[in-house]
Amino acid sequence: MATFTSTVYQNEFLPDGGTDVNAIVRLGVSGAGRAGASGKAPGEIIIVDTSGSMGQVNMAAAKNAAMTAVDTIADGTFFAVVAGTHEAYLAYPMVRTGRGMVEMNPRTRAEAKQAISWFNAEGGTAIGAWLNLARALFGSMGDALGNKHALLLTDGEDRDESQADLDMAIRASMGVFQCDCRGVGTDWIVSEIRKVSSALLGTVDIIPDPSRMAAEFASIMQASASRGVTDAELRVWVPQGAQVLFVRQVSPTVDDLTARGVPVNPLTSGYPTGSWSDEERDYHVGVRLPAKALGQEQLAARVQLVVDGQPVTQGLVKATWSNDAALTTRISPEVAHYTGQTELAAAIQEGLAAKASGDEAGATTKLGRAIQLAVASGNEEATSKLKKVVDVVDAGTGTVRLKRAVDKADEMALDTASTKTTRIKG
Amino acid sequence: MTDPAEPAWPQFSQGRPVAGTGWKQPPGQPGAAVPRPDDPTVVDASLIPAPDPTPVAAEPAASKLCLQCGGEVDTDGYCTQCGAKAPTEREHFEESPAAWVGAVCDRGVKHARNEDALATDADEAMGSRAVLVVCDGVTTSTDSDVAALAAARAARDVLVEGRPEDMGTPASRSAAVSGLFARAAAVANDAVAHHTAAGEKNPAACTFVAALVLDNVVYAGNVGDSRAYWLPDSGDGAILTRDDSMAEDSIASGVPRKQAETAADAHTITRWLGVDAADVVPQVASMHVPGPGWVLVCSDGLWNYASEPSEIGKVVSDAVGTANSWREKSRQAIAQPPATESTVSTPVEIARAMVNWAIAQGGHDNISACLARVGDKPVPAAPVVVDGEIATSKIMPSGASQTDQPSASANGVREPVAATTAYDPITHEPVPATTPLEG
Q: What share of chain A is helix, strand, coil (3-state, %, to 5)?
A: 35, 35, 30
Which strand (E) or helix (H) includes residue B152? helix B144-159
Spacing of C-alpha B427 from chain mean position: 33
Within 8 A by CB and 6+ apart from B274, the residues are B138, B141, B147, B189, B192, B193, B196, B203, B204, B205, B206
Kindly determine whether residue A139 and residue B34, on different chains, have CB atoms separated by under 8 Å: yes
Q: Which of A50, A78, A90 to mutate to test the interface with B (most CBs of B within 10 A)?
A: A90
Per the structure, the complete domain to which residue B18 belongs is given by 1-53
> Do residues A149 and A177 touch, judged by C-beta distance below 8 A?
yes
pLDDT average, residue stretch A215-240? 95
Q: What is the pLDDT of residues A253-278, one digit of tens each?
A: 999 999 999 999 999 999 999 999 99
Q: Is residue B437 part of a domain?
A: no
The mean per-residue pLDDT over the stretch A266-293 comes to 95
Count of Cβ atoms closer than 10 Å to residue A34 Cβ: 13
CA distance linking residue A97 with residue B4, whole number of Å? 10
Locate the chain A residue with the closest alpha carbon to B71: A240
CA-based radius of gyration for chain B: 31
Residues B64 and B148 grouped into a single domain: no
- ipTM > 0.85, yes or no: no
Q: Which residues from chain A sit within 8 angstroms of residue B58, using beta carbons?
A: 310-311
Residues B305 and B387 in one domain: yes
CA separation (Å) from A374 to A345, A386, A407, A421, B389? 10, 9, 21, 9, 91
3-state secondary structure of B252: helix
The answer to whether B2 faces chain A, any CB pair under 8 Å, is no
Residue B122 near residue B88, CB atoms below 8 Å: no
Q: What are phi and psi of B289, to 5 degrees?
A: -65, 115
Residue among A97, A233, A264 whose CB faces B7 most closely? A97
Q: For a pLDDT cut of 70, what percent of chain B falls above it? A: 72
The Cα A223–Cα A44 span in angstroms is: 12
pLDDT at B50: 43
For chain A, positions 58-87, list CB contacts with chain B under 8 A: 83, 85-87
Fold of A41-225: Rossmann fold (3.40.50)
Residue-level pLDDT at B337: 60
Whole-angstrom Cα distance, residue B327 to residue B345? 6
Cross-strand pairs, B431 = B422
Among A102, A133, A303, pick the best mutation site for testing chain B contact (most B Cβ within 10 A): A133
Residues in B closer than 8 angstroms to A298, CB to CB, are 78, 82-85
What would the mean pLDDT of B383-405 be, rounded to a whole number? 37
Residue B34, in any domain of the structure: yes
On whether both B352 and B214 belong to a single domain, the answer is: yes
CB B207 within 8 A of CB B222: yes
Q: Cα–Cα distance between A324 and A294 in angstroms, integer?
A: 10
**CA-wise closest residue to A177 among A206, A138, A207:** A138
Domain check: are B336 and B416 in the same one?
Answer: yes
Distances in whole angstroms, Cα of residue A36 to Cα of each of A72, A227, A273: 15, 8, 17
pLDDT band of A66, cuts 50, 70, 90: very high
Of A129-143, B88-102, B217-231, B389-403, the poorest mean pLDDT is in B389-403
Chain-wide mean pLDDT for chain B? 77
Q: Whats the size of chain B, residue-wise?
A: 439
pLDDT at B233: 93
- The answer on B305 and B201 residing in a single domain is yes
Identify whether residues B408 and B306 lie together within a single domain: yes
The confidence band for A398, taking pLDDT boundaries of 50, 70 and 90, is: very high
Q: What pLDDT is stored for residue B63 in this prediction?
A: 59
Q: Are residues B199 and B277 in the same domain?
A: yes
The single-letter code of the amino acid at B228 is: A
The closest alpha carbon to A27, from A318, A270, A233, belongs to A233
Number of Cβ within a 10 Å radius of residue A122 = 17
* Residue of higher predicted confidence among B334 and A261: A261
Residue B198: predicted pLDDT: 83
Q: Region B309-321: what's the mean pLDDT?
A: 95
pLDDT at residue A72, rounded to an integer:
95
Let me know whether B78 and B223 are in one domain: no
Is a pLDDT exceeding 50 seen at residue B430?
no
Number of independent structural domains in chain B: 3
Q: Does B20 touch chain A if contact means CB atoms closer than 8 Å?
A: no
Q: Does B57 touch chain A (CB under 8 A)?
A: yes
Question: Which residues of chain B does A172 touch, with a Cβ-Cβ cutoff of 8 Å?
Answer: 34-35, 37, 47
Higher pLDDT, B414 or A21: A21
| Domain A3-33+229-329 CATH class label | mainly beta
Tens digits of residue pLDDT in B273-307: 999 888 999 989 999 999 999 999 999 999 999 99
**Domain annotation covers residue B412:** yes
The CATH number covering residue B249 comes to: 3.60.40.10
> Rounded to whole angstroms, how far apart are CA atoms A410 and A395?
20
Residue B140 has pLDDT above 80, yes or no: no
Tell me: pLDDT of B57 over 50.
Answer: no
Q: How far is CA A236 from the centre of its chain?
A: 20
- Mean pLDDT, residues A327-332 taken together: 93
CA distances from B179 to B174, B186, B414 (A): 9, 11, 11
Measured from the Cβ of residue A119, the count of other Cβ atoms closer than 10 Å reads: 22
Mean pLDDT of B317-322: 93
Phi and psi of B373, rounded to 5°?
A: -90, 125
Residue B305: its pLDDT value, please? 95
Whether A295 and B52 lie within 8 Å, measured CB to CB: no
Do B288 and B348 lie in a common domain?
yes
For residues A141-147, average pLDDT: 93
Let me know if B86 is exposed, middle or buried by CB neighbors in 10 A (0-12, 13-18, 19+). buried
Residue B307 falls inside a structural domain: yes
Instruction: Answer yes or no: is pLDDT of A338 > 50.
Output: yes
For residue B373, being part of any structural domain is answered with yes
User: Residue B202: what pLDDT?
Assistant: 85
At residue B219, the pLDDT reads: 95
- Asked whether residue B280 is domain-assigned, the answer is yes
pLDDT score, position A426: 55
Q: Which of these, A49, A37, A36, A116, lies nearest to A78 by C-alpha position?
A: A36
Q: Do residues B106 and B77 both lie within one domain?
A: no
Question: What average pLDDT does the segment A211-224 reach?
Answer: 94
Side-chain half-sphere CA neighbours of A374 within 13 A: 30
Q: Is the pLDDT of residue B43 over 80?
A: no
For the domain spanning A334-417, the CATH number is 1.20.120.1690
Kindly give the pairing relationship between strand A178-184 and strand A145-154.
parallel
Nearest Cα to Cα of residue A276 among A224, A216, A347, A350: A224
- What percent of chain B is predicted at pLDDT more than 90? 44
DSSP of B253-306? TT--HHHHHTSTTTT-BS--EETT-S--PPEEEEEE--SSEEEEEE-HHHHTT-
Q: What is the pLDDT of residues A69-98, one digit of tens each?
A: 999 999 999 999 999 999 999 999 999 889
Residues in Cβ contact with A93 at an 8 Å cutoff, skipping those fewer than 6 apart: A80, A100, A101, A102, A108, A111, A112
Best CA proximity match to B167, nearest among B221, B218, B222, B214: B214
Q: How far from the centroid of its chain's Cα atoms is residue A76's Cα?
A: 27
> Smallest CA–CA separation between B373 and chain A, in Å?
32
The phi, psi pair for A113, rounded to 5°, reads -65, -35
Domain ranges in chain A? 3-33+229-329, 41-225, 334-417
Q: Do residue B14 and residue B47 come from a single domain?
A: yes
Check if the beta carbon of residue B417 is closer than 8 Å to that of residue B220: no
- Contact predicate B130/B294, CB 8 Å: no
Task: Return phi, psi of residue B149, to 5°.
Answer: -65, -45
Tell me the C-alpha to C-alpha distance, in Å, between residue A400 and each of A164, A377, A386, B328.
38, 18, 10, 70
Please name the member of B18, B56, B109 whose beta carbon is closest to the beta carbon of A235. Answer: B56
pLDDT at B341: 65
User: In chain A, what's the furthest Cα-to-Cα distance?
Assistant: 72
Average pLDDT score over chain A: 94
Span B74-124, pLDDT tens digits: 988 899 999 998 888 899 999 999 999 999 999 998 888 999 999 999 999
Identify the three-state secondary structure at position B435.
strand
Would you call B24 an interface residue with chain A, using a CB distance cutoff of 8 Å? Answer: yes
Amino acid at B380: P
**Rounded to an integer, what distance in angstroms lies between the CA atom of residue A63 and that of residue A70?**
11
Q: How confident is the model at residue A171 (pLDDT cuts 50, 70, 90)?
A: very high
Q: Report the C-alpha gap between A297 and A303 in whole angstroms.
A: 18
Structural domain contains residue B439? no
Give the three-state DSSP class for B29: coil
Do B45 and B61 lie in one domain? The reply is: no
Q: Are A300 and A242 in contact (CB under 8 A)?
A: yes
Inter-residue contact B398 to B237 (CB < 8 Å): yes
Written as one string, the DSSP assignment of B315-366 is: HHHHHHHHHHHHHHHHHHHSSS--TT--SSPPHHHHHHHHHHHHHHTT--S-
